[in-house]
Amino acid sequence: MSDPQRRKIHQRQLQPRLSCLFLSSKEMEKALVKERLRCDRYRQWFSLIVIEFRPCPKRNEYEQQLLLGKYLRRRLRLTDERGMLLKGGVGVMLPMTDVVGARRVLRDIISSMHDEGIALQSNIYCYDPAPSHQEPGPMVEPEIPERSEVEFHPEPVGQEAMLRDELTDSTHAQSSTAATTTRRKHEFRPQVGYLSSTTAEHGVVRHPQTIGLRTYLAPSFPPWKRLIDVAGSMCGIVVAAPILATAGIAIKMSSRGPVFFRQVRAGQYGRPFTMYKLRTMVANAEELKSTLLDLNERDGPAFKMKNDPRVTKLGHFLRKIGIDEIPQLWNVFKGDMSIVGPRPLPCHEDRDCEHWHRQRLDTKPGLTCIWQISKSRDVSFEEWMRMDLRYTRSRTLRHDVTLMFKTIGAVLLGRVGH
């Protein structure tokens, strides 16, 4: 029997044993979603350690997973969860554990696996909707056993550049200058924020290169949805080109200012992007907004006025028939938006949202969604957010097609105005 055949047989023998040590990827995804909802409701926090195995000449991946699973079963609490992740690797979820506690657990894992000759690459992600749960203070990491083969060189825990708008506390880690030939001791302050991350490789903590924890909490963007977006946006741009040209000429002739209005809005995972619309207001509308905040007719952070004095006469007509939104087909083609999805909020309004509201950012924003085609859009801001969350949790091809046809009907009935 050849070596590859023996390896396959050995893997099949190990598979049932692994299922007793780790949750499946779907079970782990459900556990993460439940923990996120619990933390949003009760303003608590949790940490997620993502572990990936590096190539090992002595043991294959299944054997490494088996050793890791046995160690985690002894090391973790009953409330902790361990399982496979849909995006690859092993996940260790630690409820009510901040970045300091997660780094302690990770240090123990790295130390134990190093004794077995296994090299790991790990990330720590912290989810904290209530960043005031503790006062940051100096803390010394637990000492690790002395050894001559490996040195631990942790660096300060850093913020993720792509999610910097989501962090509410920028307390940075501080490292000690004392060092020995076998290890270094470090003092650091725990970073407390909505999302924080640190990455470790062979015990070396470095700045993350990924988007962050949201990629593990949010379902992946389905390929069929992107295919519909590309095909639909291309067809829409070609068909609507004469309409855009006519509207652009009318805007230029009726008022001073550019034809297109650009605004930075919060996209998927909170990443900012520039959204395009036909200009329906006066050129200095953003400057005048501060004088109208007291007349806001919507609760919550969003701004809305039924008779906004900044809107031009032509702008009222363009908004009523929804033509001003057509340039967003370019955002859809670029991948910043989708045809169907929650409407993106300006970044300053998004930052003022409650933490559970921002779960709507798990999917790409869109041109239309449940709230946009509802018969009565005079609902509270929280109900609007619940509609968006209902879509993100029931995103199917049939649902998207239904919303597209309902949007066409709403346009014909004149119910798509702002």
Contacts of 134 (CB under 8 A, 6+ apart): 98, 190, 192
CA distance readout (Å), 64 to 58, 59, 183, 292, 350: 10, 6, 25, 62, 43
Task: Check pLDDT > 50 for residue 133.
Answer: no
According to the model, what pLDDT value does residue 56 have? Answer: 80
Structural domains present in the chain? 3-217 (3.30.70.270), 223-412 (no CATH)
DSSP single-letter state for residue 173? P
According to the model, what pLDDT value does residue 342 have? Answer: 94
According to the model, what pLDDT value does residue 41 have? Answer: 84
Q: At what angle do helices 397-412 and 223-254 cross, to 10 degrees?
A: 20
**Residue 82: how many other CB atoms lie within 10 Å:** 22
Q: What is the DSSP annotation of 288-356?
A: HHTTSGGG--SSSS----TT-TTB-HHHHHHHHHTGGGTTHHHHHHHTS-EEESPPPPBHHHHHTS-TG
Task: Check pLDDT > 70 for residue 413.
Answer: yes
**Residue 109: how many other CB atoms lie within 10 Å:** 23
DSSP single-letter state for residue 196? E
Sign of the torsion angle spanned by Cα atoms 203, 205, 209, 211: positive
Q: Say if CB 87 and CB 51 are below 8 A apart.
A: no
Nearest to 340, CA basis, from 387, 279, 270: 387
According to the model, what pLDDT value does residue 365 have? Answer: 94
According to the model, what pLDDT value does residue 2 have? Answer: 59
Contacts of 231 (CB under 8 A, 6+ apart): none
Contacts of 318 (CB under 8 A, 6+ apart): 247, 278, 280, 324
Q: What is the DSSP annotation of 16-38?
A: HHHHHHSB-HHHHHHHHHHHHHH
Q: Which residue has the higher pLDDT, 201 or 208?
A: 201
- The string of pLDDT tens digits covering residues 347-400 is 989 888 888 888 898 899 999 999 888 866 678 888 999 999 999 888 899 999
pLDDT band at 248 (very low <50, low <70, confident <90, very high): very high
d(CA 75, CA 87): 24
Work out the mean pLDDT of the chain and round it to a whole number: 77
- The string of pLDDT tens digits covering residues 155-202 is 333 333 333 333 333 333 333 333 333 333 333 333 333 344 455 544
d(CA 51, CA 72): 12
Best-predicted range by mean pLDDT (228-232, 291-295, 347-351): 228-232
Task: Check pLDDT > 80 for residue 414.
Answer: no
Phi/psi for 261 (5° steps) reads -105, 125
Task: Check pLDDT > 60 for residue 144.
Answer: no
- The string of pLDDT tens digits covering residues 60-114 is 888 888 899 999 999 999 999 999 998 888 999 999 998 889 999 999 999 999 8
Of 140-149, 319-328, 351-360, the poorest mean pLDDT is in 140-149
